[in-house]
Amino acid sequence: MTRKDYLLNQKQKGRHLFGVFPAQYPKELLWAMDIVPAEIWDPPLEITAANAHLQPYICSVVKLGLELVLEGKCDMLDGFLFPHTCDSIQNIASVIRDCLSENKPCYFFYHPKNPHGKAARDYYVLELKNLTLSLEKQLGPLNPDALKQRIQQGHKISGLFGEFYDLRAKGKLDVGNREFYEQLRRGEYLFPDDLIPELEGFLARNKGKEKKGLTPVILSGVLPNPPEILTLLDDLGVSVAHDDLLIGSRRLLVPPSNLKDPFKQLAESYFSMPPCSTKGAPIVERREYLLHLIKATGAKGVIFNVVKFCEPEWFDVPNLTDELKKRGTSTLVLDTELNQGLSGQMKTRVEAFVEMIS
Amino acid sequence: MTYFAGIDIGSLTTEVVILKGNDRMVSSAIDLTGTDCNEAVEQALGQALSRAGISRSQLSFIVATGYGRITIPFVDKKITEISCHGVGAHHLFPDSGTVIDIGGQDSKVIRIDKQGKVLDFTMNDKCAAGTGRFLEVMAGAFRLSLEDFGALSLKSKREIPISSVCTVFAESEVISLIAQNQAKEDIIRGLHRAVVNRIWSMVQIVGVHGAVTMTGGVAKNLGVVALLEEKLGGKIHIHSEPQIVGALGAALLAKRLFI
């Protein structure tokens, strides 16, 4: 079933469809209100209409999101959610709400940056409650038991993804890079009742078959697009042993919380996620996280696959590559535009990197 | 006697180097790539074999490199030009630690170790700025050959800065400056500066380690070399035929892989 068919099917079941822009948001809260969050990262469109409205130096995640709206492909949605990920998403949120949403409700979620102190946690809980109050005006009251159940499902999903990652790092998951991320990314729109059995089936089919002789690397950046990069790595005998992707480990590997208050549980999970540029994590934390992944997996190098003009990511990349090189880790930086395929030059860069680390 | 071949299929030219088992280069050939990589390879390989006085069947191992490497069916191995330039530069100048390769379509800065193995590299974006193509277009605007274009810049007394490194906008800017009767050599030096600044930002990413060797067709451009040496504060190693360094590296790797 295609993503669109799945979403239409969910709507027929009486669920509410929300278009959610990247990246960090309380998915469990939306599930509890019977909302299916359909994340908008890289819809397979050619950017034409959006170029007329945006500066050339806006990243293609934002451009593709706007293109989706301008082409009328969001008509089936019941609302939008815009997490405060970066200035470009913040700006496009205002444009869509003020000019393009045609009375579709638009919600905003401001998560704290550089989240270390108690004030940041209190603020996050307050934001969760504010979002709940806003959603309740449209959809009716939140059922606290439903929230607890969805949080449990969220933990189950994180646990399953964690098992994927662990098995892959040990070479005991019999799937290539492309297949791995295709499965991972189905979590961007599947409702947990469907996602959990699918992940369990995937794990049962593919665990335990050891793969040997592959060169391990860490993949960093926002998302693995163009997906041809993953295919190329498969062809070159390279395994992504772990990742530091925004669509991947940075938000999926959430440890469970034992707190009783569900809002505090959600907050605890948010603050336990790995460091991320979109949360203003200090560069030292990001470096240490990468060094930990390298050590744990025996990775031979780190590939930074960064979306062109992604300001939060690009700000960190020069410092991160410098720090890793000083510690003897090889790095490759690729600046990619979504859905543009792999140029011969880009392939050469990847191949040369693999020759270098093999 | 055992022979090995390296074939470098670049965007502008195709180079072939034939190597003897004792690492001695016995012949080389350069031909325009044109629109058919296979035809260009046949031409250049035929010339190189003829000059070496051997037949194709005497080649024990062939490595292809360059952007056209994927299109050549009969080779034994395909290796990127980044690895090949590293090995070729190290063979010619063993003290090389940094290789600057500026070809027709792309430019690279490569850091190598004492065996010629790549330690780090960077490549230009998908843009003609800072490549041989940029200089080719600009030389065309002056109706000068590439050799004269490079040499003329050395006569400049008052360099004129070029504000854009975009090939299209820079060409427009150059045409305006020509219309203002500005001295050709001053404009050309400004153009060379634009290229060198672009390359220099790549050098900053990789860093300067050991002696610097320049490869690729643009290494024949005296104006670019002079400005790069000015930036580096020292001399750059350049082989008498810098275009064949990638093919030489490929031939050396062919021998290593065969043995």
Give me the percent of chain B exceeding a pLDDT of 70: 98
CB B125 to CB A335 under 8 A? yes
Residues of A at the B interface, defined by Cβ within 8 angstroms: 325, 330, 333, 335, 343-346, 348-349, 351-352, 355-356
The lowest-confidence range among A287-301, B153-167, B207-221 is: B153-167
Distance CA A331, CA A294 (A): 12
- Interface A-B, measured as beta-carbon pairs within 8 A, has a size of 39
| Nearest neighbour of A345 by CB, restricted to B83, B119, B123 | B123
pLDDT for position B126: 67
The residue-averaged pLDDT of B136-145 equals 87
pLDDT for position B128: 67
B123 → chain A, closest CA residue: A349
Which of A351, A353, A354, A357 is the best substitution to test chain B (most B C-beta atoms within 10 A)?
A351
A350 → chain B, closest CA residue: B80
Q: In chain A, what are the domain boundaries?
A: 3-140
Give B-chain residues touching A344 at CB under 8 angstroms: 67, 70
Give A-chain residues touching B82 at CB under 8 angstroms: 348, 352, 355-356
| Nearest neighbour of B80 by CB, restricted to A335, A343, A348 | A348
The residue-averaged pLDDT of B168-193 equals 88
Counting Cβ atoms within 10 Å, is residue B247 exposed (0-12), middle (13-18) or buried (19+)?
A: buried
CB A345 to CB B106 under 8 A? yes
- From B66's Cα to the closest Cα of chain A, the distance in A is 9
CB B106 to CB A349 under 8 A? no
pLDDT for position B124: 83
Q: Assign 3-state DSSP to chain B and report helix, strand, coil percentages, each to 5.
A: 45, 20, 30
B82 → chain A, closest CA residue: A352
Q: Taking the CB of residue A255, how many other CB atoms lie within 10 A of it?
A: 12
pLDDT for position B48: 98
- From B256's Cα to the closest Cα of chain A, the distance in A is 15
**Strand partners for A173:** A207
Q: In chain B, what are the domain boundaries?
A: 1-93+240-259, 96-238
Which CATH class for the A3-140 domain?
alpha beta
Alpha helix ranges (H) inside B97-244: 132-142, 146-153, 167-179, 184-206, 222-232
| pLDDT above 90: residue B37 | yes
pLDDT for position A115: 67
- From B83's Cα to the closest Cα of chain A, the distance in A is 7
CB B118 to CB A352 under 8 A? yes
Which of A349, A350, A357 is the best substitution to test chain B (most B C-beta atoms within 10 A)?
A349
- From A355's Cα to the closest Cα of chain B, the distance in A is 7
Give A-chain residues touching B79 at CB under 8 angstroms: 355
B70 → chain A, closest CA residue: A344
> Strand, helix or coil at A11?
helix
**Do A76 and A189 contact (CB within 8 A), yes or no?**
no
- From A133's Cα to the closest Cα of chain B, the distance in A is 47
Rg (CA), chain A: 20
Angle of helix B81-92 relative to helix A344-357, nearest 10 degrees, comes to 60
| Nearest neighbour of B83 by CB, restricted to A330, A345, A352 | A352
| ipTM summary value | 0.89
CB A356 to CB B123 under 8 A? no
Stretches in chain A below the pLDDT threshold 70? 115
| Nearest neighbour of B118 by CB, restricted to A333, A343, A356 | A356
**Do A215 and A238 contact (CB within 8 A), yes or no?**
yes
pLDDT for position A253: 79
| pLDDT above 80: residue B175 | yes
**Do A42 and A227 contact (CB within 8 A), yes or no?**
no
CB A352 to CB B82 under 8 A? yes
- From A66's Cα to the closest Cα of chain B, the distance in A is 25
Please choose, from the candidates B93, B44, B98, the residue with its C-alpha nearest in 3D space to the C-alpha of residue B72. B44
pLDDT for position A223: 97
The lowest-confidence range among A11-15, B130-134, B214-218 is: B130-134
Which CATH class for the B96-238 domain?
alpha beta
Which are the contacts of B25, defined by CB distance < 8 A and separation ≥ 6? B17, B18, B19, B248, B251
CATH architecture of B1-93+240-259: 2-Layer Sandwich (3.30)
| pLDDT above 70: residue B232 | yes
Distance CA B229, CA B212 (A): 10
Which of A345, A346, A347, A357 is the best substitution to test chain B (most B C-beta atoms within 10 A)?
A345
Distance CA A272, CA A266 (A): 10
- From B80's Cα to the closest Cα of chain A, the distance in A is 6
